[in-house]
Amino acid sequence: MIKGETSVGSCGGQGEFSAGVGGDDGSPARSVTLEPDDVFEILRNQRRRDVLRFFFEEGRTAVELGTLAEHLAAAEFETTITELTSQERKRMYVSLYQCHLPKMDEAGIIEFDSDRKTLELGANAHHLEPYLYLDETPSRVQDEAADADDESVDEVELHRYLFASLSGLLVTAATALGAVSTVVVVELLLPVVSVLVGAVGLFQFTQTRE
User: What is the tens place of the pLDDT at every residue in 4-19?
Assistant: 443 333 464 344 444 4
Q: What is the mean pLDDT of residues 147-170?
A: 53
Q: Which of 68, 100, 132 is the endpoint of a domain? A: 132
Is the same domain home to 107 and 40? Answer: yes
The residue-averaged pLDDT of 173-198 equals: 58
Q: Which of 2-16, 36-50, 119-133, 191-205 has the lowest average pLDDT? A: 2-16
Q: How far apart are CA 78 and CA 74, in angstroms?
A: 6
Residue 149 lies in a domain: yes
Residue 138 has pLDDT above 50, yes or no: no
| Mean pLDDT for the chain overall | 73
Q: Are residues 119 and 16 in the same domain?
A: yes
Same domain, 53 and 150: no
Residue 33 lies in a domain: yes
pLDDT of 134 reads 77
pLDDT score at 123:
93
Dihedral angle over CA of 16, 19, 21, 24, nearest 10: 10
| Residues 78 and 146 grouped into a single domain | no
Q: Which residues contact 182 (CB under 8 A, 6 or more apart)?
A: none
Counted domains in the chain: 2
Q: What is the CB neighbour count within 10 angstroms for residue 5?
A: 7
Strand order in the sheet with 118-121: 62-64, 118-121, 110-113
Domain boundary at 109, 132, 155, which?
A: 132
Q: Which residues contact 109 (CB under 8 A, 6 or more apart)?
A: 42, 52, 121, 122, 124, 125, 128
- Residue 80: predicted pLDDT: 97
Do 172 and 117 fall into the same domain?
no
Banded pLDDT at 34 (limits 50, 70, 90): confident
Q: What is the pTM of this model?
A: 0.55
Spatial separation of the C-alpha atoms in residues 157 and 86, rounded to whole Å: 55
pLDDT single digits (tens) 71-102:
999 999 999 999 999 999 999 999 999 999 99
Top pLDDT among 179 and 118 is at 118
**What pLDDT does residue 111 have?**
98
Same domain for 33 and 126?
yes
Query: Is 127 found in the same domain as 144?
Result: no
Can you give the pLDDT at residue 133?
A: 82
Q: Are residues 116 and 143 in the same domain?
A: no
Tell me: do 71 and 174 sit in the same domain.
no
Residue 73, pLDDT score: 98
Shared domain check, 124 and 28: yes
| E strand intervals along the chain | 62-64, 110-113, 118-121
Residue 42 CA, distance from chain mean position: 18
pLDDT one-digit tens code per residue, 38-63: 999 999 999 999 999 999 999 999 99
Does residue 64 contact residue 117 with C-beta atoms inside 8 Å?
A: yes
Instruction: Check pLDDT > 90 for residue 177.
Output: no
| pLDDT surpassing 80 at residue 137 | no
pLDDT computed for residue 201 by the predictor = 60
Domain span including residue 173:
138-209
If asked whether residues 53 and 127 sit together in one domain, one would say yes
Is the same domain home to 110 and 202? no
Query: What 3-state class would DSSP assign to 176?
Result: helix
- 60 lies in a domain? yes
Q: Are 122 and 109 in contact (CB under 8 A)?
A: yes
pLDDT for the residue numbered 108: 95
In the three-class reduction of DSSP (H, G, I as helix; E, B as strand; rest coil), residue 130 is classed as helix
Residue 153: inside a domain: yes
Helices (H) and strands (E) in the chain, counts: 8, 3
Domain limit, last residue, from 132, 147, 171: 132
